[in-house]
Amino acid sequence: MSEPRRSYVIALTGGIAAGKSAVSRRFEAIGIHVYDADVAAREVIAPGTDGLAAVLARFGHGVFDAGGQLDRAAMRQRVFGDDEARRALEAITHPRVRSWLHERALADRGPYCLLAIPLLAENIEHYRWVDRVLVVDAPEAVQLERLMQRDGIDEALARRMIERQARRTHRLALAHDVIENDGDEARLDHAVAQLHARYKALAAGR
């Protein structure tokens, strides 16, 4: 007996504060599974994993709390502004995150599934196996306003956070589909409904 065909796979991405989570929630509300790279990043270095053991071997006990758990605040402080440390952490986590996402995409039995990958544009060479890319886009001025309100930060820091990501034009160049999220979130309902119909048709026509 042949194995069931895997789901059609949509990679969902967008700049910080563009509205990826709002779009993800709407797909989930209509029964589509969304597998999130941020969730994967926590799971691959959870207690008892080889990922956590690799973090300990590379960074030592200084990034762990008294109970032996990873101190995420200490880790962020350790890698902030230290490119070598950041690259070392990414070398541990990124391949494991990609494997986590790939395994769930292969196991999914819906008509299609979404992979929420904030840094897709920065790592697109590792995701050539996805079928389609959906970008949630917003003007930088909108991103800035949302980011300052969401995180309670000033404009200078918000700009630095945006500048650390891939350029907006780079993300859009990868897109098969784009959701413009520059206003009322209620408009997302219509956009998601249209894409849902399109993706079901594409999945059925493979």
The pairing of beta strand 8-14 with beta strand 132-137: parallel
Best CA proximity match to 4, nearest among 135, 109, 122: 109
Helix ranges (H only) for the chain are 20-29, 37-43, 50-59, 72-79, 83-107, 140-151, 155-163, 168-174, 187-204
Phi, psi of 48 (to 5 degrees): 90, -5
Helix ranges (H only) for 80-167 are 83-107, 140-151, 155-163
Q: Give Dmax (Cα) for the chain.
A: 59
Binding annotation for ATP: 17-22
43 in Cβ contact with 98 (< 8 Å): no
Binding annotation: 17-22
51 in Cβ contact with 93 (< 8 Å): yes
Distance CA 57, CA 85 (A): 13
**Strand arrangement of the beta sheet that strand 132-137 belongs to:** 34-36, 112-116, 8-14, 132-137, 177-180
Distance CA 11, CA 118 (A): 10
